[in-house]
Amino acid sequence: MRKFWLIGSLLAALGTGFVALLGVGVFVVAGNLTGGGAGRTAGLAKGSVPAAYQALVQKWGNLCPALSPALLASQLYQESGFNPRARSAAAAEGIAQFIPSTWAAHGVDGDKDGVRDVWNPADAIPSAASYDCELASYVKNVPGDQSANMLAAYNAGPDAVIRYGGVPPYSETRNYVKTIRGLEESFSAPVGRLQPSEQAAAAISYAQGKLGTPYLWGGTGTAAQRGRFDCSGLTQAAYENVGIDLPRVANDQYNAGPHPGRDELLPGDLVFFSDDLSDSRAIRHVGIYVGGGYMIDAPRTGAVIRFDPIDTPDYFGATRVTQAAAAALPEPGASKSLRPVDEDRAAEKAQEAGGAGKAETGSGTADEAAVDAKGEGGGEGGGEDKGEGEEQDAAAKGGGQAGGDGAAVSGEPTGGPSPSPEVSAPAAGAGEGPRRAD
Catalytic residues: 79
With contact defined as beta carbons under 8 Å apart, do 291 and 22 qualify? yes
Give phi and psi for 288, each to the nearest 5.
-110, 120
Q: Give the residue from 281, 248, 223 showing the smallest Cα distance to 48.
A: 281
With contact defined as beta carbons under 8 Å apart, do 418 and 406 qualify? yes
The helix or strand, by DSSP H or E, that contains position 69, with its residue range, turns out to be helix 69-80
With contact defined as beta carbons under 8 Å apart, do 298 and 215 qualify? yes
Detail the DSSP E strand segments found in 45-155. Answer: none
Between CA 426 and CA 438 the distance in angstroms is 10
Q: What is the dihedral of CA 384, 368, 331, 281, to 10 degrees?
A: 0
- 241: buried, middle or exposed (CB in 10 Å: 19+, 13-18, 0-12)? middle
- Provide the 10 A C-beta neighbour count for residue 314: 20
- Provide the 10 A C-beta neighbour count for residue 8: 11
The angle subtended at Cα 313 by Cα 17 and Cα 10, nearest 5°, is 25
Residue type, 263: D
- 313: buried, middle or exposed (CB in 10 Å: 19+, 13-18, 0-12)? exposed
Q: Cα-atom radius of gyration of the chain, to the nearest Å?
A: 22
DSSP three-state, residue 34:
coil
Neighbour-count burial for 100-120, b at 16+ CB within 10 Å, e otherwise: eeebeebbbebeeeeebbbeb
Between CA 316 and CA 46 the distance in angstroms is 9
